[in-house]
Each structure stands twice: as structure tokens, then as C-alpha cells.
Amino acid sequence: MTFVPLFACSFVLSCEPMRGLSKQDLLQIWEIGLHQHPVDRALTILAAVLPALPWEELAALSMGQRDGYLLAAWEHTFGDRLESYAECPQCAERLEFPLSAAALRASAQPEEIEPVQGWTVNEYAIQFRLPNSYDLAAIVACADPARAHDLLLSRCVLEVTRDGQSIATDALPATMVSRIAERITVCDPLAEVLLNLECPACARRWQTQFDIAAFFWSELTATARRLLREVHALARAYGWREADILALSAARRQFYLDMVS
């Protein structure tokens, strides 16, 4: 089994102070997120760890920036290690492997990401911006991936000129569309973290995407459910209030849980 992040962070997190999530935060985010789309769940997490940033600014972060912040939030809340797993597409063997949130972020290139970028290739001059949460929300309803791709392109490509003449995005040749998509990925690499995996049982090699937003939500859900079960056990045994039980250190809470089990 091997894993290699093909793309890594290429921006520097801003100096906004970030805090880890408390047990109360985790429960509150879980409660709110239950009724949200995954795009909004990620922003709900970020709003809790970056309270100084308004929602609109968080939603305008490029997807790579958003995921970089989520990785930092993970570190502040759960530590560096991400216990990942994947299932072999050939023999269904379950692969478990750790990732490092710090390593994913630390391979950042020094320059900060510019949300709007200019790029000249061949005879084309292109102005584009990096996709953000607003763009993701706009394509959520698209059942057709090709339609979603076109919509995303039309939102993010601001201007294309060829020999000084303006060109509509839907008039671009397919090769240029592909190159622009590749360019966006290069400019915002954390938006797509790909892992190279090899099955130890059948030696099948494949590539899979690591999605920190989904990973974070999954862990947050598991933690929230565990905390609520612990509150239930201790409240029933001792009559303590939820807030008082959550305020206990993990060691004390576990001690009392052992006593009542």
C-alpha cells in the first residue's frame, strides 16, 4: 500500500486566528449540518473556527483555500493525523492508511493564491477566477456532469480574447476548455488532492480523491454521536446537566463512564 498526494497546497493561509472546535462546537455544528448540503456544512465548520470572517468571505474562498482552512481546522481540533481508508475496486480489500494534515498543507508553494488570474496560451488571453463555494452551489442541481462543467466554466472564465477579439466561452475549442480546466487545477491544487493507492492483496493500482470536507463531516458526526451517548449514560446515572458533562475532561468523563458501565 502506498499513498502519494499528487497535488499539494499552493497558498499560504492568511493570518486570521484559528481556533479548534470544542465539544460544544462539534455538537452545534453537527446539529446545524444535519439539515445542510455538504457545501454549506464545510462553511459552517469554517465559520466556527474563523469567527472573524463573515460567511460571504468564507463562501468566496477558492475550493483549495477552503480545504486548506479545513485541514488547519482539523489539526486544531483532532490533531495532525487523518485515518483514511479506501476499498480496492478489484478485490474489495479495505486499505487503511494515515495522512498528515500538516504535510498536505506544508507542501504549499510560497505564493498566495490570487482569486482572479490571467493566462496567455497560444494566441488566447484568458482571465479567469478560481471556483468557490458559490460556484459549487450553483452546479449542485445539475444532474448532467457535462452541463455542470459548462456552467462552471461560464461562471469562472471572465474574459477570453484572441488576437484582441473577444470570444464567448461556449465558442472555445474543446482543447482550450480542457487546458483552462487544467490551469485552474494547477492554480488551486488543494481543490483536488489525489492519492495513488496500491492494493496489498491483489496489487491493483488506482487513484482516488481525498475530500477533506466529507472526511471532516464524517468524523464530526461520529464524535457528536459518541458525545451524546456519553451524556446520556452519565445524565441517567448521576442526573448531571449536558453542559456539565461536556465540560468534564476526557479522562474524568471516561472514569465516570467506566464507573457506571
Nearer to Zn ion, 31 or 87 (CB): 87
Nearer to Zn ion, 88 or 193 (CB): 88
Residue 108 φ/ψ, nearest 5 degrees? -65, 140
13, 69 in Cβ contact below 8 A? yes
Nearer to Zn ion, 205 or 229 (CB): 205
Binding-site member from 88, 153, 156, 167 for Zn ion (CB under 5 A) = 88
The least CB distance from residue 82 to Zn ion, in Å, is 22
Nearer to Zn ion, 21 or 86 (CB): 86
Nearer to Zn ion, 22 or 90 (CB): 90
Cβ-proximal residues to 149 (8 Å cutoff; 6+ apart), any chain: 181
- CA dist 18 → 72, 75, 218 (Å): 8, 10, 21
- The reply to whether 90 sits near Zn ion by the rule CB under 5 A is yes
The least CB distance from residue 96 to Zn ion, in Å, is 14
136, 39 in Cβ contact below 8 A? yes
To the nearest 10 degrees (0 to 180), the angle between helices 212-238 and 250-260 is 50
Q: Compute how many residues bind Zn ion; rule: CB under 5 A.
A: 8
The least CB distance from residue 95 to Zn ion, in Å, is 8
- Write out the DSSP string of 62-80: BHHHHHHHHHHHHHHHH-S
Nearer to Zn ion, 88 or 220 (CB): 88
One character per residue 182-221, x = contact with Zn ion (rule: CB under 5 A): -----------------x-xx-x-----------------
The least CB distance from residue 199 to Zn ion, in Å, is 3
Question: At 120, is the secondary structure helix, strand, or coil?
Answer: strand
130, 152 in Cβ contact below 8 A? no
Q: Which neighbouring-strand residues pair with 98?
A: 83
Site for Zn ion in 91-120 (CB under 5 A): 91, 93
Rounded CA separation 229/261 (Å): 12
Binding site for Zn ion (CB under 5 A): 88, 90-91, 93, 199, 201-202, 204
